[in-house]
Amino acid sequence: MQLLLLTAGLGLLSVLGAQGPQLTPAHAQELVGRWHIKLWAGTFPIPVKRRSHPIPPFTLAMNELQKLEFRMNLTKPIGCIPFKLPLDIGPKPGVFHTWYKYRIYINFLPGKQHAIAHFNDTIDFSKHVMMMLMGRSLDEDPEAVRTFEEFAESKGLNQTDIARPPPLEACELPPDS
């Protein structure tokens, strides 16, 4: 389930058609570092009890092929399982492509401590939207939350579609991963 959320979430790391001057397309080098998923929303059929399941932090790094790479350790009964998703850098700032050929948009909020990642595509003949508010720290930022809520609403989602997962630190990524 976490893998689906993260694949969709990072594969979802897109902010398609980010509206308004408060969002700035992200360049790959600006995204490098550790991030936390603060909020997420989407149309994928995820059971309600799983929507608020704790999510570990993730890292965005440049890999040896000079691709931006999403890295997260997933907690499984057998232990921590590393998950990596390379993202091709698109033709415009803020646009990234997964190997599935999905387009992901990532835009910074003012201050570049928060970003919105957005995915909007057809999977298995159904149109899906997935987005997340990611932050460099666990600090609360009401303005970032408000911006994310407005963005989600502009993409056809409701306030009830927004999940607020608690952080999970049990499966830390090593600093050099």
pLDDT in tens, 147-173: 999 999 998 888 888 988 888 765 654
pLDDT at 75 over 80: no
Can you point out the beta strands (E) in the chain?
24-25, 33-42, 58-62, 68-76, 79-89, 95-97, 103-108, 114-123, 126-135, 162-163
Instruction: For the chain, list the domains and their CATH numbers.
Output: 2-163 (2.40.128.20)
Under 8 Å between Cβ of 152 and 12? no
pLDDT at 1 over 60: no
Under 8 Å between Cβ of 74 and 34? no
Show the DSSP H helices in the chain as ranges: 2-10, 28-31, 48-51, 142-154
pLDDT in tens, 11-22: 434 333 434 448
Q: Which residue in this structure is represented by tokens 């987005």?
A: 131
